[in-house]
Structure 1
């Protein structure tokens, strides 16, 4: 199972790089030398698209991200200390902090969504604006996952080559995507 999740993480890493490259190209072309957008409305829409696309890509692993981090932490503890990259503990800490922020933003979004009027659905300004706000606030945490997520893959690859067996999947309950990010049952 952990190997499948890591393949999903690799897909997120690839997609997030593509999304960021497309954003950088758009931003370079549509801003003046001081970085001000030529058309702020269009620029804002493109930024919202970048944020939503990145969230959507991360969503495929969001429900299992905490378990993936737990597995990597156990693997690092079991690996030969001479083989461990010194950046891994810092990266795991950054990923954990970013995930906690994403979980908090998701909780807030779900609470907000529940408080919306009955007419607020996807496609309405009320719904779409609050969702765009969540995505915008999530951007830096998603970017952290994009920049540091490869550490989970590197740790797992080293664990697979260790001379003695190393845990390749943290024990724990299977987590349903529908319950992830809610206050109840989430480890902090």
Structure 2
């Protein structure tokens, strides 16, 4: 997301006048749509687990070692929870709009592409804010420490050899 934001800022700096008006409206709109689509594609890779990541951080936060929690993390997790719900709504709305398209208006059609562009445009400000607060999840995971048992560095001792019974000579 940082890469997309930096690229967008560079585009705006290069292709707009000092008041922020684009020199070429069509090129600006096309670049904005491309940015939005790339941001949605990036989010879509983890959209299925986004809510679980935030919920896991919420569960861990109260149990962090003393002095490791940042005061803002609770608020940021609340923002992330709300944003994730809003992004789910954006996705669901787009899925419904796609299913309502007439026959023949499938992938590649203007109507289909318009729904995807609208979804990405609606998601952009939410994704921008999600990226701003997501480091709280990473920070909580890091502060909580490893969540799986550590491996030992020694192999377990081999079993004692079975005693061999030999007939006793008398």
Query: Any idea what SS the aligned residue of 2:45 has?
Result: helix
Matched residue, 2:130:
145
**Would you say 1:102 and 2:102 are equivalent positions?**
no
**What count of residue pairs does the alignment treat as equivalent?**
148
**Would you say 1:43 and 2:23 are equivalent positions?**
no
Give the one of 47, 55, 80 matched to 1:62: 47
Instruction: Indicate the RMSD between aligned Cα atoms, in angstroms.
Output: 1.3
Query: Any idea what SS the aligned residue of 1:64 has?
Result: helix
Q: Deviations for 1:142-176, whole angstroms, at most 9, x for unmatched residues?
A: 01111111111110001016xxxxx67xxxxxxxx
Q: Which runs of 4+ in 1 moved over 2 A?
A: 80-83
Matched residue, 2:70:
85
Paired with 2:82 and 2:107, the residues of 1 have a C-alpha distance of 30
Bigger Rg, structure 1 or 2: 2
Task: Give the structure-2-normalised TM-score.
Answer: 0.83
Q: Given that residues 15 and 23 in structure 2 are in contact (C-alpha distance below 8 angstroms), is that contact kept between their aligned partners in structure 1?
A: yes
**Would you say 1:52 and 2:37 are equivalent positions?**
yes
Matched residue, 1:111:
96
Which is worse superposed, 24-33 or 117-126?
117-126
Task: Give the structure-1-normalised TM-score.
Answer: 0.75
Paired with 1:82 and 1:157, the residues of 2 have a C-alpha distance of 13
CA deviation after TM superposition for structure 1 residue 30, in Å: 0.6
**Would you say 1:23 and 2:27 are equivalent positions?**
no
Alignment of 1:105-184 (within 5 A): 105-160=90-145
Q: Given that residues 65 and 143 in structure 2 are in contact (C-alpha distance below 8 angstroms), is that contact kept between their aligned partners in structure 1?
A: no
Q: Deviations for 1:69-90, whole angstroms, at most 9, x for unmatched residues?
A: 1110010021145321011011
Which structure would you say has the larger RCO, counting Cα contacts within 8 Å and 6 or more residues apart?
A: 1
Paired with 2:55 and 2:71, the residues of 1 have a C-alpha distance of 18
CA deviation after TM superposition for structure 1 residue 130, in Å: 1.3
CA deviation after TM superposition for structure 1 residue 122, in Å: 2.4
Which one has a larger percent helix, Structure 1 or Structure 2? 1
